[in-house]
Structure formats: structure tokens, C-alpha cells
């Protein structure tokens, strides 16, 4: 149901009435009370959507002396952005009645920390969620509402949870169960922690499982590097499975094999990483690794909201954040 322009703003009591709960329960929902039953959360969420309810931020700001805004800090603003993480974080903030501002702060972590502190002290925002490092001596001693997710370095290269290479072993195990014994890895740029971790875990898994690696091709995350790796692979290499550093490299590998007349996956299986949208529409669809970035962002924002409410933040990582997604580009080893 869409509310007409000029209609009176829906109230928390109307939401409560439609959901069949008390207005105190709706208030708990807006504060992201983790102890609330899933069925209750669903009813309240549906009522909010139907009524088009939005918290009255101006009134709350006057009452609490808060801005009702949260800054999400990145090392810089560029064409690349962690959109799924931002979506998860902003959805939690919005449900709690906060607006989010994405801010790029260039420079090293010392300069970024000074800018973050100045932003907080100005009163323009109530809290800061930083996806980039801040000075440890500040973040460990301050009681200010700052949460550092720390998933990107000063140059927007992923590290932290985003750089976890463990799924590489799961991919190798999966392909080994399908009969593959000789592998190739086309890596990403080695100045990225994520590329180094994926390469290291790949080599460890090969050794642990008693398999063979034809080698590692030093790529640069590009489609071209994948294409050239497949184009230049000797016909007698014996490789039946390729682990690409990301989905763009995997797309290049597949196209390189196709241009040589090598069938994917009948003769060679190919696995990518990141679950980019195009992987579901490429021919063949690309096997990949999915990372639940949305949940990563939601959990980080919940931690910040807990600080703002002087509550205990959620603890521990989210189980099952990574999962491998086999599709048409991988299959049994050729007989």
C-alpha cells in the first residue's frame, strides 16, 4: 500500500495496531532487539512497509540532541564500492531510524582517524562505521561510538574477512570428488592480501589432498589475464580444472578455452570467485564462491547501534558466510 502525498504520517501506534503488538514492541524492533521472535519481527516489518512508516527523525533529534546520522567511512570514493556491505549496513541503520552518509577520506589511517574524530565532535553524526583501518591507539582506548570493520586498506584493497582464502580448499575438495587430479590456479595481483591468501590455500589444499598442480599463473584480476592463461596452456598439460582468482578471470579462462575449441566443462572445469551478477548469465554459467557481504554489513551496523544504545554488541562471526556455488562451468573430470 502506498501512502498518498499530503496524508498524515503513520505513527508507531498505528504500526503496533496493524501488527497486533504493543507500541513498546515496535520500539524494540526499531532498536533491533536481538531477542525478538522472528514471527514478531516479520509482522512488524510488514506493517511498517504497508503503512509507509518512517521514524520522525527531526522530532527525535530535537528530543535527544542527536543528528540521527551515521557516517560510513571508506579510504576513498571510487568507481569500485562495497555495495552489498553498504546495503546491509544501511538497511539496519534505516530500520533503527538513522540516515547513513558514505564518506571517502583519503590519506593514511592517522589522517583518517583525525577526520573521523573531528566529524564526531562536530555533532554532524552520532556514530561512525569504518571499512578502513583507524589508528589502534585511538580505537582501543576511546569510548566513542566507532566500529572498525577494517575490510579495506588505504588503497581499497580487500583484507580481513573479505580476504579469507579458506574456500579455495573447499573448491579443490569438491573438484577432487568429481575425479579431478591436476589443477591450475590463475591468481590475482599479489599486492592484494586476498590474492595471496587464495594462492596459499590452493597450494596447501593440493598438497594436503595428494593432488597435482600444473602451476600458478600470476594474473592481475582481469579478464585478459584469464584469457591468456587458457590460451597459452600447453595441450599436454593434463590440467582438467582451473581455479580462477575471481569471476572476471574465470570468464577470461572460459573464453580462452572456447577460442581453442576446448569444451567447458566437458574437458576442463573452471571455478571463479565473488559471485558477480554476470556469472548467472554467462554461457556456461560460472561456478563461483559467494560471500554474504550483506550480513557482514548488517552485523557491523548492529555492533555500532549497540554502542549508541550502550548495549552489548553481537559477538562472534556469522556461521556459513562463505559458500561455494557450483554451476555449469564445472563438472566431472573427463574420462
Confidence (pLDDT) at 25: 85
Query: Is 306 within 8 Å of 266 (Cβ atoms)?
Result: no
Q: Residue 20, CB half-sphere, CA atoms under 13 Å: how many?
A: 6
Confidence (pLDDT) at 150: 65
3-state secondary structure of 12: helix
Q: Is the pLDDT of residue 253 over 90?
A: yes
Q: Is the pLDDT of residue 313 over 80?
A: no
- Range ranked top by mean pLDDT from 73-82, 92-101, 151-160, 189-198: 189-198
Length of the chain: 335
Q: How confident is the model at residue 2 (pLDDT cuts 50, 70, 90)?
A: very low
In the DSSP assignment, the letter for residue 158 is B
- What is the distance between the alpha carbons of residues 235 and 238, in angstroms, rounded to a whole number? 8
Q: Is the pLDDT of residue 218 over 50?
A: yes
- For 17-31, 64-78, 255-269, which range has the lowest pLDDT when averaged over its residues? 64-78
Q: How confident is the model at residue 215 (pLDDT cuts 50, 70, 90)?
A: very high
- Range ranked top by mean pLDDT from 14-18, 141-145, 155-159, 218-222: 218-222
Three-state SS annotation for 85-153: HHHHHHHHHHHCCCEEEEEECCCCHHHHHHHHHHHHHCCCCCEEEECCCCCHHHHCCCCCCEEECCCEC
Residues ≥6 apart with Cβ < 8 Å to 325: 275, 287, 288, 289, 290
**CA angle in degrees (0–180, nearest 5) for 284-248-235:** 65
What are the C-alpha distances in Å from 85 to residues 89, 151, 152? 6, 10, 12
Q: Is the pLDDT of residue 302 over 60?
A: yes
Confidence (pLDDT) at 187: 97
- For 63-72, 103-112, 239-248, which range has the lowest pLDDT when averaged over its residues? 63-72
Q: How confident is the model at residue 252 (pLDDT cuts 50, 70, 90)?
A: very high
Q: How confident is the model at residue 58 (pLDDT cuts 50, 70, 90)?
A: very low
Contacts 24+ apart (CB under 8 A), 231-236: 231/256, 231/259, 231/260, 233/184
Q: What is the pLDDT of residues 175-195, one digit of tens each?
A: 999 999 999 999 999 988 899
Q: Which domains occur in the chain, in start order?
A: 12-54 (1.10.260.40), 61-156 (3.40.50.2300), 161-291 (3.40.50.2300)
- What is the distance between the alpha carbons of residues 274 and 294, in angstroms, rounded to a whole number? 13
Which H helix or E strand runs over 332? none
- Range ranked top by mean pLDDT from 106-110, 148-152, 318-322: 106-110
Tell me what the mean pLDDT of segment 55-63 comes to: 48
Query: Is 244 within 8 Å of 175 (Cβ atoms)?
Result: no
Helices (DSSP H) in 264-324: which residue ranges? 293-308
Residues ≥6 apart with Cβ < 8 Å to 39: none
% of the chain beyond a pLDDT of 70: 81
Q: How confident is the model at residue 10 (pLDDT cuts 50, 70, 90)?
A: confident
Residues ≥6 apart with Cβ < 8 Å to 140: none
**pLDDT, averaged across the chain:** 84
- What is the distance between the alpha carbons of residues 251 and 92, in angstroms, rounded to a whole number? 34
Q: Residue 159, CB half-sphere, CA atoms under 13 Å: how many?
A: 15
- What is the distance between the alpha carbons of residues 215 and 187, in angstroms, rounded to a whole number? 10
Residues ≥6 apart with Cβ < 8 Å to 285: 279, 327, 328, 329
- Range ranked top by mean pLDDT from 20-29, 46-55, 206-215: 206-215
Q: Residue 235, CB half-sphere, CA atoms under 13 Å: how many?
A: 3
Q: How confident is the model at residue 57 (pLDDT cuts 50, 70, 90)?
A: very low
Residues ≥6 apart with Cβ < 8 Å to 108: 154
Tell me what the mean pLDDT of segment 271-297 comes to: 92
- For 54-68, 157-171, 242-256, 261-275, which range has the lowest pLDDT when averaged over its residues? 54-68
Q: Residue 129, CB half-sphere, CA atoms under 13 Å: how many?
A: 30
Amino acid at each position: 500500500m502506498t501512502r498518498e502525498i499530503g496524508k498524515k504520517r503513520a505513527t508507531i501506534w498505528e504500526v503496533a495496531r496493524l501488527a497486533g503488538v504493543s507500541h513498546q514492541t515496535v520500539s524494540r524492533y526499531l532498536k533491533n532487539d536481538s531477542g525478538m521472535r522472528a514471527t514478531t519481527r516479520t509482522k512488524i516489518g510488514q506493517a511498517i512497509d504497508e503503512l509507509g512508516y518512517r521514524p520522525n527523525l527531526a522530532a527525535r533529534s530535537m528530543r535527544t540532541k542527536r543528528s540521527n546520522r551515521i557516517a560510513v567511512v571508506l579510504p576513498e570514493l571510487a568507481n569500485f564500492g562495497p555495495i552489498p556491505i553498504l546495503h546491509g549496513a544501511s538497511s539496519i541503520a534505516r530500520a533503527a531510524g538513522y540516515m547513513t552518509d558514505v564518506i571517502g577520506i583519503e590519506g593514511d589511517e592517522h589522517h583518517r582517524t583525525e577526520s573521523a574524530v573531528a566529524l564526531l565532535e562536530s555533532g554532524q553524526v552520532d556514530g561512525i562505521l569504518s571499512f578502513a583501518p583507524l589508528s589502534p591507539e585511538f580505537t582501543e582506548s576511546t569510548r566513542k561510538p566507532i566500529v572498525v570493520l577494517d575490510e579495506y586498506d588505504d588503497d581499497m584493497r580487500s583484507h580481513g574477512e573479505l580476504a579469507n582464502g579458506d574456500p579455495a580448499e573447499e573448491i579443490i575438495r569438491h573438484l577432487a570428488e568429481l575425479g579431478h587430479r591436476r589443477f591450475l590456479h590463475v591468481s590475482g595481483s599479489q599486492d592484494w592480501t586476498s590474492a595471496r591468501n587464495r594462492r596459499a590455500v590452493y597450494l596447501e589444499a593440493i598438497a594436503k589432498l595428494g593432488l597435482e598442480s600444473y602451476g600458478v599463473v600470476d594474473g592481475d584480476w582481469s579478464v585478459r589475464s584469464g584469457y591468456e592463461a587458457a590460451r597459452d596452456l600447453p595441450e599436454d598439460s593434463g590440467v582438467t580444472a582451473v581455479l580462477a582468482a575471481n569471476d572476471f578471470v574465470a570468464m577470461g579462462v572460459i573464453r580462452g578455452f572456447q577460442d581453442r575449441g576446448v569444451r567447458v566443462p566437458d574437458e576442463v572445469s573452471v571455478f571463479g570467485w565473488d559471485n558477480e551478477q554476470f556469472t548467472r548469465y554467462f554461457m556456461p554459467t560460472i561456478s563461483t564462491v559467494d560471500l554474504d557481504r550483506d550480513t557482514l554489513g548488517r552485523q557491523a551496523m548492529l555492533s555500532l547501534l549497540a554502542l549508541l544504545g550502550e548495549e552489548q554488541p553481537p559477538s562472534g562471526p556469522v556461521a556459513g558466510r562463505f559458500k561455494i556455488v557450483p554451476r555449469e562451468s564445472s563438472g566431472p573430470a573427463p574420462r
